[in-house]
Amino acid sequence: MPTPPPPRAALAPLDPDRHAPTAQRPVRAKARRLAADSEITPHHHPWAQLAWSVSGVARITTEHSTYLVPASRAVWIPAGMVHAVTAVEAAELRALYVRADAFGLDLPPWQVCRVIEVSALLRELVLQMDIERDRGAAPAPALLARERRLGELAIDELQRAAPVRLGIELPRDKRLRALCEAVLADPGRHDRLAGWAAEVGASPRTVARLFRQQLGTSFGPWRQQVLLARALTLAAQGRPMGLIASDLGYASASAFTAMVRRSVGAPPARFFASRP
């Protein structure tokens, strides 16, 4: 069986209703720091959310997918979707809470999670948003006017942002889910399906069938997405590309570069580039 990960510090969502977007304030911002290996337990809210790490790396997990979020990327989470937030390393998080219907973001393609690139402009707009929670008294008119202007421009920049193919699908089957979580925790432990199948006491043929049935793909392409996500985390830590390739089990940097180009249509230096 896969080695279980160490227990995480479980944290409740921090007063989300005190940052709830309204007709008067359709875009709200919230900040929270998380220690490494801590987790905000699964929850949902009736507004949409853009989740972003100012520093560090977070993992956003929904029922069927998981996403790694360094400072150069953000994840859009539709209203009502149950999600958990895990700090892969110590992270300073920012969230934009959005009344999606006020901006046409309650329609396709915004009804599902998506990863986007965070431009320098979007980064600064989010950082300038007021993060104080509601305290009963009405905010000053000047603050409301500034928040609305910043929020509208942030949403415009969000709608222009390039989507990134960087989500990892997760299965419903408990045994396959355990295997997938083990791969996410340590993707370099085995490079072939047989090694992972042995950990859950199943034959490679059974696991391969479950991958096709549950995720609509084979193990190889799914693991490539995991490796891309892990590489993104390592790049955010400042690791050189050669070391990242070696850590992920590639015989050469050129083999790693070929995998990245094939998967996302861009070389590693561009795909993993951090935004200022």
Residue 178: name the closest of 135, 147, 214, 142 by CA.
214
Provide the pLDDT confidence category of residue 188 given band limits of 50, 70 and 90: confident
pTM: 0.85
Res. 185: pLDDT tops 90: no
Res. 28: pLDDT tops 80: yes
Min mean pLDDT across 11-25, 67-81, 250-264 is at 250-264
Summarize pLDDT for 207-236 with one digit per residue, the tens: 999 999 999 999 999 998 999 888 888 887
Radius of gyration of the chain (CA): 20
* Domains recognised in the chain with CATH numbers: 9-164 (2.60.120.10), 173-271 (1.10.10.60)
What's the chain's length in residues?
276
Res. 71: pLDDT tops 90: no
Q: Residues 126, 154: contact at Cβ < 8 Å?
A: yes
Res. 124: pLDDT tops 60: yes
pLDDT of residue 275: 46
Bridge-based pairing state of the strands 91-98 and 48-55: antiparallel
Residue 43: name the closest of 7, 118, 97, 108 by CA.
97
